[in-house]
Structure 1
Amino acid sequence: MKKRADALKPFYVSLQSSIASAESRALFPPFGNFFMFESVKALYEPENADQSSSAHAAARNAIMDDASRFAVEIKASFLSQLVKAPNEAGTELSCDDAGAVTLSQAAVEQLAEGDESAVKCPSYWRTTYMTFPAVLDHYKVCGSQPLTAKSLSTNVAGIVATRHVIAVVDTVEPDRFKDNPLSTTTLYALGTAFKCDDCKSRDGAVGPAVWSARYQGSARWSGMVQHILDKHAQPALALPTIEYTPLAPPSPGQDNPGGFFVEDDG
């Protein structure tokens, strides 16, 4: 059955590629969710399942309806958490007399585009942070498990950790984002320029083995955010001292542009 399900991947890719809107394409479900749709199961669960192009065409509308429901559910869940977390983290948002956040749909979606709203790729081993729904496209490449409505959500600790990393950059380079506005793209352009001084200084105190497991050396902004959440959030979030060292720009004619080498993950 798995072989029959995997045989649907070209059909899956063609359906996603047929969507004109970039946002709607990103919201198209990962394959792990796609093959759980009842409309898709009919194409691979029976041993004699018809996987012809005509069978695909006949199932297309029902599949796209299921995909639309997935998009609505995961977006609604993300946006509801998105409003709650920044408000609890101290972001000034419009509220009514009872303290409930009152934002228009356009304002909420604009909030989702901000760097503080970036969320970690649901793949366990990844430290890539991206805004929604672009993070879904990233997960489609590196993840295989089906997502739930709660797989992607912002939280207070993540927002505070992100602010902390950005504040360090602003302190060292006050004009860093003057010409290139702050975004996840400009944050990734900083390269592996961050180190946790709190963990680095514990080498002699806790022994090299423990220190090695805790301190991972230089990291990108997203890796440092995840380091804070993994190593400095229990029992309560305690923001560590972060060292930010701007990477040297590439030299003219340099084959490997130094600090601007791009890796696969955060």
Structure 2
Amino acid sequence: MGAGTSGRLGVLDLSDIPPSFNVDPMRYIALSAGGDVTLRTARPSVEDSRAAGAADLGSLLPTPLDTLIGISASGRTPYVLGALHTARAHGLLTVGLVCSRPTEVSLEGNCDYVLDPLVGPEVISGSSRLKAGTATKMILNMISTAVQIKLGNTYGNLMVDVHPSNIKFTSRARGIIRGIANPAAETYSDDELDGVIARCGGSVKLAVVVVASGWGVPLSVDALERRAGSLRSVLEDVRYETVVRVFV
């Protein structure tokens, strides 16, 4: 959650998570003070209400299983402070992302963690869309990417859970399958790979297992479930089975 540039950066970062990693959009929600209209038209006054931040967060019915990242370059935005206070009251894990020290975000004690890079004075004093904005975007990228890695939604540097929803992502999905499932994938045409992906319900990760193992969809689903969705672990099982077949 954030206001102004901070809010826009939160929306920008999370907007790409669902298509890139094929996850439920309701698991990653970005709120900007004043609503979506402020993504294109600045309304500075909307950040001045703690009550608005508390209400916007409260409308999502948060639980202790949720996490809130409150973004405020200055560390004193009322909208963010109100949201962090409400989050703490509901038992959420709370993170403050600021670009100054000390700040009200840290001093009010509503954050489990405070990330506070010091970027130094802006070229135009007070224009936090500049260095502070750049630092904020980089840190948000790090957090969201690390989360997807920990969830097993990547394999090396490949987004194996990408949703093939357009030409670019479909081409990327084929490349991922060919890159991971070789040599088995070498004989598959583009149309054949698209067919495998379709039979796998659009899951590129599952398609990789199907092509690499030859097990078919049901057995590949079971394999991923046994390994908690870890493609690396399943592929180790595939290689082990192949070695056993060769030497038996």
TM-score category by the smaller chain?
under 0.3
Greater relative contact order structure (CA < 8 Å, 6+ sep): 1
Higher helix share: 2
- TM (norm. structure 1) is 0.23
- TM (norm. structure 2) is 0.24
